[in-house]
Structure formats: structure tokens, C-alpha cells
Amino acid sequence: MDLTNPLPLLDEAVAVLKTPLTQEDRYQGWTDDLRREIQEEISLSRSALRRHGLGVARYLRPRLEEWLDRVGVAPGRLRGLVSEAQRCLETVDSDTARMAE
């Protein structure tokens, strides 16, 4: 993962989450509403990073994995992509904080 530019990963996550769910996704606990809500959350974070730079990452507090745990989404392709996006945002936040010190 390129921490100097996390936007490609976030772009990929948004693009994949915009596509219709497969039957397997539905078996794992995804609904159309959940898919749209998660896509919107990642999209908002991505927009903030684009507009304001990586320094804004410290203000983003993604809790996507906790959300998916609460609604009972099982591991799978979408869950893995969302987890990777969350880790990316958390890593950018911690790296940006270290660079500011």
C-alpha cells in the first residue's frame, strides 16, 4: 500500500462498492443499504483527503469494521476491501502524525 498516496485504494473501494451485490455478498450479510452507506463513508473520507491533503487523516475516525461486526457481516471480498480501506486511513493518520512531530 502506497502511504504517500492512499487515494487509489480508496478509489477502488468506492468503485467496487458502487457495483451490485452478488449472491455470495448477500449470503455474507450485505444489503444494498449497507453497501451504499459504507461506500458513502469511504467516499467522504476520500473527498476530505483530496480537498485538504493527508493532514486531515488525523480527523477521520473510520469505524467501518466495528459497524460490519455489529450488523453481522461475514468475511469475504467486500469485507476485506473495507477492512483494507480502514487500515489505510488509520495508517495514513499515524504516519502523518509522526511526520508532524
What does pTM read for this prediction? 0.83
Contact 76, 48 (CB under 8 A): no
Query: Is the confidence at residue 9, as pLDDT, over 70?
Result: yes
* pLDDT given for residue 83 in this prediction: 93
Q: 35-85 pLDDT, tens per residue?
A: 999 999 999 989 999 999 877 777 777 789 999 999 999 999 999 999 999
> With the CA atoms of 93, 81, 14 and 37 taken in that order, what torsion angle do they form, in degrees rounded to the nearest 10?
-90
